[in-house]
Amino acid sequence: IQELLRVMRTIDDRIVHELNTTIPTASFVGKVDPGQTCKQLYESLMDAHTNRERIIKNCIAQTSSVVKTLREEREKAQDDVALLKQLRKEQTKV
pLDDT at residue 19, as a whole number: 78
**Domain limits, the chain:** 1-24+31-92
pLDDT at 85 over 80: yes
Q: Tell me which of 16-20, 25-29, 56-60, 76-80 is least confident.
A: 25-29
pLDDT at 18 over 90: no
Q: Please name the residues in contact with 32: beta carbons below 8 A apart, sequence gap of 6 or more.
A: 24
What sign for the dihedral angle of Cα 70, 73, 77, 82? Answer: negative
pLDDT in tens, 53-78: 998 899 899 999 999 999 999 999 88
Judge contact between 63 and 94, C-beta under 8 A.
yes
User: What percentage of residues in the chain have a pLDDT greater than 70?
Assistant: 89
Name the H helices within 1-94: 2-8, 10-13, 15-22, 34-76, 81-93
Judge contact between 51 and 8, C-beta under 8 A.
yes
